[in-house]
Structure 1
């Protein structure tokens, strides 16, 4: 491999990138747009779920219970109704996602120490939100029941109610359980896949479509020199995008890197190399910019979004899909990102994931090199 010829191709591709300011702007703007869009729009947190109430008791006890719901960050009481028809109308229209029904004998049973049931109705058309809302509603009702039991114990002169078992909860690595803390590392992987595959999936195909491949074939260039020269400028752009995404994650979403930032960028470079050569392989095989770009989205973006553990836990997928995830490098890179970002761990734990990334990058290099032929079909 001649370094001078490789550098000449790299300069040629760099000049093309700089002249095509639209593509360069798009490549640098995509991280900003994606990380802001997904960071704000894609959230697993439950906040201020619209709630309607049918309070048949209309007592001090029921108002005390409703104050707990209204004071929580999870529920926003929008209206009070007088029947199931009104509740159903609001649930049907989407005005509310949760309905609370307090029976008429609520206060009497509470003060007499008898069990009483309140009804919580969730909009099951949004299964995830409904499930979380029902769980939070149950937890708030349990807090109210415990407070009532403690008050009754004090009134009877038995002292303070003591729990035989007290559970102390701690959430390591994400104490506030913020969904952004978990999602931002995954978004960085998504940004890298989109940008890298999009940029290199068209580079060789463009040479074929514009007819400049004949000029390259007539030169003494060898396949590795052309391929590596094509990748160099896009590698620089990709690593710039990683730096931008990391800075946005820290400054906008307050998600700093807990572990070794140098290790993160080093492994990001390995992952980026594999994705760049994957995009180049598509460009070589398909020889069409449009088709190569579409295939890059289908085979890069979609698996990263759906089959990497970014949004959906791999353990909850059907067994065949769990096995399928092993062939996608984003699975390993997201594990690395979360390990370094959130836990601060290093290669002593992440070495297997790093090894798979290195193997993938090497395979893509070899495949792209062998796929390229200096001849016209």
Structure 2
């Protein structure tokens, strides 16, 4: 393996990239557009959930409860309805995700025993939104219930010391504000790098076939290993630029806290780039059509990284069989690493298992990619 031949191949690939505006557009613009679109568009936080209210009593107490819903950042009262048919219409049209119905004897029950009930009608077409909305609604009602209980005890002449509550003191580590953005955006970097890296390198060898330059390439003394390294070297440099841009946007634009070391992030990102670029190169060798290689690269990178890497959906909540399948998804390990570096500031020793798995993956992909190329035209 000679450095001179590797350098020549790298220079040739740089010229190919420079002369192909599509590759430059994918390499430079796609990461920025995806980072902003997905960074703002993907969130697990639910706020200002539209609700309908049906106050069948219209008393001061019932209005106090509804004011708590109106003042909450999680709810927004879209309609004050006057009957169940209007609730059905609101839920059917999607104007409301939740309906709160206060019974006509709400105040009377509170006065007698400090116990009353409120009906919550949920749109269950989106079960996740329904469950979260119900949890938020229960929190609002419980807050109101505690205030009513204290007032009832005071009217009964009972002392608060008679109540012995169990108190839970909670403390949140790593994501103190419980912002889903801090959980989602570090994994988004892996999604973008996987997509862009594989898309770019999936065109390297297939481009030679389509442009008719493979005969010249085969006639040169360059070895398959030298060809692979020379072809991938410019894309690793582009990958560093894209990764640095995405990580800077995550930290300084979206405000995701970064607590790890730059060296750990650089080393693991480089390892991940080797994997995704190697996959793209391997597909380019096996599939001689640029369109075909690009489409397959999109399939084997975007779907597994989005669905099975833990980027959005927690792996430990998946079925057991799917959890085992995720061990074959290379991006799972990088998502674990980048989230731990951003939010926990984990050391390389603490991340030794995912780093080792990523290293094994990178080695296997590079060996397969180097052996897949044959200096023959058949």
Same fold at TM > 0.5: yes
For structure 1, which segment, 232-241 or 160-169, has the greater mean C-alpha deviation from structure 2 after superposition?
160-169
| 1:72 partnered with 2:72 | yes
Match of 1:199 in 2: 200
Matching residue of 1:126:
126
Paired position in structure 1 for 2:377: 376
Match of 1:288 in 2: 289
Q: Is contact 2:26-2:200 (8 Å) kept?
A: no
Partner of 1:92: 92
Match of 1:34 in 2: 34
Give the CA deviation at 1:251.
2.3
1:114 Cα deviation after fit: 4.3
Q: Matches of residues 196-345 of structure 1 in structure 2 within 5 Å?
A: 196-345=197-346
Residue deviations 1:139-176 (CA, integer Å, cap 9, x gap): 11111111111122233343446552111222211111
SS in 2 for 1:348: coil
Per-residue deviation at 1:3? 0.3
Q: What is the CA–CA distance in structure 1 between the aligned matches of 2:74 and 2:53, rounded to whole Å?
A: 15
Q: Give the TM-score normalised by structure 1.
A: 0.98
Aligned Cα root-mean-square deviation (Å):
1.2
Q: Is contact 2:114-2:152 (8 Å) kept? A: no
CA distance, structure 2, for counterparts of residue 116 and residue 280 of structure 1: 66
Deviates more, 1:153-162 or 1:219-228: 153-162
- CA offsets per residue over residues 107-127 of structure 1, 9 Å max, x none? 111122242110111111111
Residue deviations 1:180-237 (CA, integer Å, cap 9, x gap): 1000111000010011000001110110111101001111111111110000111111
Mapped to 1, the partners of 2:99 and 2:79 lie a distance apart of 10
Using the TM superposition, name which of 225-234 and 21-30 deviates more: 21-30
Kept in 1, the 8 Å contact 2:114–2:149? The answer is no
Partner of 1:48: 48
Q: Give 1:31 shift.
A: 1.3
Q: 1:286 to 1:236 in 2, by over 3 A?
A: same
Report what 2:81 is aligned to: 81
| Matched position secondary structure for 1:185 | helix
Mapped to 2, the partners of 1:252 and 1:108 lie a distance apart of: 53
* Counterpart position of 1:349: 350
Q: Distance in 2 between matches of 1:297 and 1:26?
A: 13
Which structure 2 segments of 5+ residues have no match? none
Task: Give the aligned partner of residue 151 of structure 1.
Answer: 151
**Corresponding residue for 1:108?**
108
- Three-state SS of the structure 2 residue aligned to 1:50 is strand
The match for 2:16 is 16
